[in-house]
Every structure is written in structure tokens, then in C-alpha cells.
Amino acid sequence: MGYDVHITRRTPWWEDEGEQITTQEWAAVVAADPELEMVQVARVSPRGQDTVLEYRHEWLAQMVTHPERDTHGAWLDWGEGQIVVKHPDELLLKKMREIAGVLGARVQGDDCEYYDE
């Protein structure tokens, strides 16, 4: 588990009703933004362990310009009509706001707070 922040058009983010962000829209945003890349695989080595955890998803992107991308990921994952990021820092939140602006969406945390500025 973790704290998720969502790029969404729904109010609140968990509602089934409301306009969704399509995979076509998401792919277009990633393709047009040199800071983003569709990576489809996330790999993490938990601290103090030799194992590597892997997550695969067709619509998983990464902020490749993020200075901590190799240690903290900076992954943005499309699912169920929205883009989700776990524990974003201020730099990633700023990028999420930019993406939301392009998509006509908002950035909303798990507790329904908005990150508009």
C-alpha cells in the first residue's frame, strides 16, 4: 500500500461515473512530452535485499528526467481511466499538474485533496 495521487476527471477520483482519460489520450501525452517515456516495466530493489521486484503494465510511463528515477521510480501508471502515482514528490507533482492541464483533468490525492498549485 501507499499514498496515491491521481490525475483524474472524476469527482471524487474513486467514482465510477465521470469522464475517463483514455489510453489514446495518455499515449499521446507521453509521446508529445520529452520528459516522459512509456516504459511498461518498473523494477525496484527493496533496501537491504538482493531481490528485484518487477511490475509490468502496458500503460506505465516514467518521468525520465526525474533526478531520482533510478532509486524512486517516478512512474505514472494509467488504469481505470486515470493516471496514478505513488508518493509523488514536488517535482513529480508539478509534472502531474502539467499533464492534468493538457488532459483537462485535476490532480487529486487519496483523501480527495487537490494539488492544483
Task: Give pLDDT, residue 1.
Answer: 57
The CA distances from residue 58 to 10, 11, 18, in Å, are: 22, 26, 23
List CB contacts of 78: < 8 A, sequence separation 6 or more: 21, 23, 26, 57, 59, 60, 61, 84
Q: Is the peptide bond before 12 cis (omega within 30 degrees of 0)?
A: yes
Q: What is the reported pTM?
A: 0.90
Set of cell numbers at residue 1: 500500500
Set of cell numbers at residue 114: 487537490
Per-residue pLDDT of the chain (117 residues; tens, 9 = 90+): 579 999 999 999 999 888 999 999 999 999 999 999 999 998 877 777 788 888 899 999 999 999 888 767 799 999 999 999 999 999 999 999 999 999 999 999 999 999 987
Distance CA 84, CA 87 (A): 10
